[in-house]
Amino acid sequence: MMKLKRILVAARGNGADEEAVKLACDLAKKSKAGIYVVYIIEVKRSLPLDAVIESEIQKAEEVLTRAEDIAAERDYEVETDLIQAREAGSAIVDEAMERDVDLILMGLTYKTRFGVFDLGRAVPHVLKEAPCRVLLCRDPVS
Amino acid sequence: MRNNWQPKPGDKFVRRPRVKAHPLRRVLGIPGLYSVGYGNVGSSIYYALGIIALVAMGATPIALAVAGVFFVFVTLTYAEGTAMLPEAGGSSSFARHGFGDWAGFISGWALMLSYVVTIAISAFVIPAYLGYFWAPLKESAVMSTAVSMGIIFFLMIINVIGVRETSFVNVLAAVMDLLVQILIIALGFLLVFNLDVLVHNITFYWPSWENLILGIALAAIAYTGVETMSQMAEETKQPAKRVPRALILMIITVLILFGGVSTVALSAMTPQELATNWATDPVAGIAHSISLAITPEEMAAGLSSEKEAVIVLTWIFTELRNLLPGLVAVLAASILLLATNAGLMGISRLAFSLGRHQLIPSALSRVHHRFKTPYVSIILFAAVALVILVPGLFAPGVFIELGALYVFGSLLAFMFAHASILSLRIKRPDLPRPFKLGWNIKFRQWELPITAILGLVGTAAIWLVVIATQPYGRWVGLGWMAIGLGVYFLFRWRKRLPLSQMAGKPARPNSVGT
């Protein structure tokens, strides 16, 4: 059984975030690990990195507030953070390094691209570059 | 925990306060910043050499050298300015702090003109390079201009949708740039360089004084990209230290490589030939001359006496001779395509920055609800670039006029950059200057950098020469500034904002820091 001190949950604004936060709470309870939920806003290169994109910030706030609510339902407190970056994968890995986490937890929905299951860009990058364990939590195929 | 993880060039994050503020992390180091900057600067030689040769003829290397001196002054000014004010906006930001919002606007608007023209020129010469594979792309004004406009339109769509350009692409562009130019210089010096021919081409084709000065002015187009590196400061780790170093590294690389390419060019062909047959694709002309100079059997025999080795070497040199022009054509077109795209991204970022500081209407900063891109500024400035290219359908002379128009915008922005550094030395001597220019002259209690003074005087003089001698650059440039100032005054009046002073800091959720 892995001993966890810090868990990073990468919220992505999809339906799998809820399950990811719940799983993080369940894993963290035994060793009283800290949970950090981060939401990454990817900023296109045609904008300055610190561009204020109200719609994205609003969406991020909703996602992170929901994560806090889910954790509260399980009597757990989470720390949330909102980051803007060019690429989500790099930001997640960097955040994991910064916080020295033991586990990165990512929820993903079942998505296909041209008929083939697609992990996107961030997940393969995190799987390749993360300094710690990575747990993927995929929603059932609906 | 892995300790050997390295961030990719361009990785950098901005943290928005939510629960509590965390320190920001910048991850772009000198190599990443240099690759982004050189990818932009290095691409300009692919058209600048031709534009300069059209006017300066035999004095092309001298024009590049003199412009290079001013380029050094500008880069040093940007180094102090960016280290002092590590925010997006470049010379517009310096001017805003140095003189107020009105100066920030003029500088920013002039920069936008130079960006638009860079987009137009870069796209304009792509068909010329691809003309190696199909001659009408180079020989037909209508065909080449139409293809150029198609390229800009395509990139406009790409940028509105927001197709991702990874940081790897910037590194790739810089590496390709460097490799092509080093290859051209190395082969050029080995195969075509002849000091007597070079001296003859310079002296026999020496231009008039007026053309020489104009050539020096146009040579400024070879040194685009300083602004790009300055705008990347907000994404750089320890920008106060690393941006100046990256800028200085870029100066050295650019001066050496551009000097080498121009020297090889005037050994490989006469300025007349460069200015007529190869004006729009000068590097292709150099590659063509080099390939003609390759004699596989002779060169192989000169390197080895063994029969098998001679056969292999002959084959290698034959393939090099056959492939070099096509390879240069493809690489040049690719680099220029990336540079055109970088120009479009750069102008939209600049427009966003100007909008954030309430220098231009916020409509230009509007972000698409689905694509999350500044679609209004992308479409608007791409359209302006397309309009600028329209004369190319009817007259090939648009090439040099685009060069003059670029010089109008960029030199005006550089003048403001120099003046702002001087102004800030006087008004804000207490401001931390992590990179402070040396060689200062003492004026009362202030220290003023001589490079900024000389740079200001020199760029102002050259700008005035262009205004006086180039009607297209004069009227289109002044017209652009007049339209911009009209928009600025109207916008500020409607918003009840002061015209000259800073309107106050924009609402930024978190400051960018280490």
- Tens of pLDDT, residues B25-66: 455 667 777 777 777 788 888 999 999 999 999 999 999 999
What does residue B497 show for φ and ψ, rounded to 5 degrees?
A: -105, 150
Alpha-carbon distance A57 to nearest alpha carbon in chain B (angstroms) = 9
Residue A10 lies in a domain: yes
Residue A49 lies in a domain: no
Q: Return d(Cα A56, Cα A106) in angstroms, integer.
A: 19
Continuous H helices in chain A: 17-31, 54-73, 88-99, 122-129
Q: What is the mean pLDDT of residues B268-283?
A: 91
**Is residue A117 within 8 Å of residue A110, measured between CB atoms?**
yes
Alpha-carbon distance B340 to nearest alpha carbon in chain A (angstroms) = 13
Structure tokens at B404: 């003059």
Q: Return d(Cα B480, Cα B384) in angstroms, integer.
A: 11
Q: Are the beta carbons of B2 and A131 separated by less than 8 Å?
A: yes
Q: Which residues of A touch B166 (CB under 8 A)?
A: 87
Q: Which residues of A touch B513 (CB under 8 A)?
A: none
Nearest to A47 among B10, B167, B352 (CB): B352
pLDDT value of residue B496: 84
Q: Measuring CA to CA, which residue among B340, B330, B291, B294 is closest to residue B314?
A: B294
The pLDDT tens digits for B453-501 are 999 999 999 899 889 988 989 999 999 999 999 999 998 888 888 777 6
Q: In the block, which residue shows the tokens 């050295």?
A: B252
CB atoms near residue A115 (< 10 Å)? 6
The pLDDT tens digits for B395-438 are 767 888 888 899 899 999 999 999 999 999 999 888 888 888 88
Its domain, for residue A111, covers: 6-43+55-138
Cβ partners under 8 Å of residue B234, min gap 6 = A48, A49, A50, B12, B86, B87, B88, B512
The pLDDT tens digits for B13-36 are 776 655 333 334 455 667 777 777
Q: Which residues of B touch A89 (CB under 8 A)?
A: none
Residue A113 lies in a domain: yes
Structure tokens at B345: 């991204």
As a dihedral over the C-alpha atoms of residue A120, residue A124, residue A129, residue A134, rounded to 10 degrees, the angle is 100
Continuous H helices in B357-470: 375-389, 398-427, 450-469
pLDDT value of residue B439: 87
Confidence band (pLDDT; 50, 70, 90) for B384?
A: very high
pLDDT value of residue B29: 67
Structure tokens at A57: 């910030």
Alpha-carbon distance A69 to nearest alpha carbon in chain B (angstroms) = 14
Q: Return d(Cα B155, Cα B143) in angstroms, integer.
A: 18
What residue type is A69 in one-letter code?
Answer: D
Mutation for testing the B interface, residue in A44, A52, A66, A77 having most B CBs under 10 Å: A44
The pLDDT tens digits for B354-366 are 888 888 888 888 8
What residue type is A76 in one-letter code?
Answer: Y
pLDDT of residue B199 exceeding 70, the answer is yes
Q: Return d(Cα B505, Cα B508) in angstroms, integer.
A: 8
The pLDDT tens digits for B238-264 are 777 777 888 888 888 888 888 999 999
Residue A130 lies in a domain: yes
CA angle B386-B360-B501, nearest 5°?
145
pLDDT value of residue B73: 92
Number of domains in chain B: 1
pLDDT value of residue B230: 75
Start-to-end C-alpha separation, chain B: 23
Share of chain B above pLDDT 90, in %: 40
Q: Are the beta carbons of B18 and A81 separated by less than 8 Å?
A: yes
Q: Which residues of B touch A127 (CB under 8 A)?
A: none
Q: Return d(Cα B422, Cα B426) in angstroms, integer.
A: 7
Mutation for testing the A interface, residue in B161, B344, B367, B381 having most A CBs under 10 Å: B367
**Is residue B115 within 8 Å of residue B349, measured between CB atoms?**
no
As a dihedral over the C-alpha atoms of residue B82, residue B86, residue B89, residue B94, rounded to 10 degrees, the angle is -50
A106 forms bridges with which residues in the sheet?
A10, A136
Q: What is the DSSP string of B234-281?
A: GGBSSHHHHHHHHHHHHHHHHHHHHHHHHHHHHHHS-HHHHHHTTSS-
Q: Which residues of A touch B2 (CB under 8 A)?
A: 131
Structure tokens at A62: 């909703």
Where residue A71 falls (left for φ over 0; alpha for ψ -120 to 50; beta otherwise) is alpha
Residue B310 lies in a domain: yes
Q: Which residues of A touch B164 (CB under 8 A)?
A: 44-45, 87, 121
**Is residue B50 within 8 Å of residue B219, measured between CB atoms?**
no
Which residue in chain A is spatially nearest to B155 when comparing CA positions?
A46
**E strands, B425-508, in order:** 440-443, 446-449
Which of B88-97, B177-186, B504-513 is predicted with the least confidence, judged by mean pLDDT? B504-513
Alpha-carbon distance A132 to nearest alpha carbon in chain B (angstroms) = 6
pLDDT value of residue B371: 87
Nearest to A49 among B166, B234, B374 (CB): B234
pLDDT value of residue B346: 86
CB atoms near residue B295 (< 10 Å)? 15
pLDDT value of residue B10: 58
What is the average pLDDT value for chain B, to the nearest integer? 85
Q: Are the beta carbons of A82 and B18 separated by less than 8 Å?
A: yes
Residue A48 lies in a domain: no
How far is C-alpha B4 from the geometric centre of its chain's CA atoms?
34
pLDDT value of residue B497: 80
Structure tokens at B464: 């005035």
> What number of C-beta contacts closer than 8 Å exist between A and B?
115
pLDDT value of residue B23: 35
A34 forms bridges with which residues in the sheet?
A6
Q: What percent of chain B is helix, strand and coil (3-state, nearest 5)?
A: 75, 5, 25
CATH number at residue B130: 1.20.1740.10
**Is residue B261 within 8 Å of residue B114, measured between CB atoms?**
no
Alpha-carbon distance A23 to nearest alpha carbon in chain B (angstroms) = 22
Residue A50 lies in a domain: no
Provide the residue count of chain A. Answer: 142
Its domain, for residue B287, covers: 30-494
Q: Return d(Cα B330, Cα B174) in angstroms, integer.
A: 15
Q: Return d(Cα A71, Cα B452) in angstroms, integer.
A: 58
- How do strand A6-11 and strand A34-42 relate by DSSP bridges? parallel
pLDDT value of residue B289: 92
The pLDDT tens digits for A4-60 are 899 999 998 888 899 999 999 999 998 899 999 999 998 888 888 888 888 889 999
Which residue in chain A is spatially nearest to B2 when comparing CA positions?
A131
Q: Which residues of B touch A55 (CB under 8 A)?
A: 367, 369, 372
Residues of B with CB under 8 A from a CB of A: 1-2, 5, 7-8, 10-16, 18-19, 22, 25, 27, 88, 159, 162, 164-167, 234-235, 344-345, 348-349, 352-353, 356, 367, 369, 371-374, 378, 507-510, 512
Q: Which residues of B touch A132 (CB under 8 A)?
A: 1
Number of domains in chain A: 1
**Is residue B495 within 8 Å of residue B355, measured between CB atoms?**
no
**Is residue B419 within 8 Å of residue B99, measured between CB atoms?**
yes
CATH number at residue A123: 3.40.50.620
Nearest to B345 among A42, A46, A55 (CB): A46
Cβ partners under 8 Å of residue B217, min gap 6 = B67, B404, B407, B411, B462, B463, B465, B466
Residues of A with CB under 8 A from a CB of B: 42-53, 55-57, 61, 64, 79-87, 90-91, 93-95, 97-98, 100, 121, 129, 131-132
The pLDDT tens digits for B336-354 are 998 898 888 888 888 888 8
Confidence band (pLDDT; 50, 70, 90) for B5?
A: low
- How do strand A79-85 and strand B13-16 relate by DSSP bridges? antiparallel
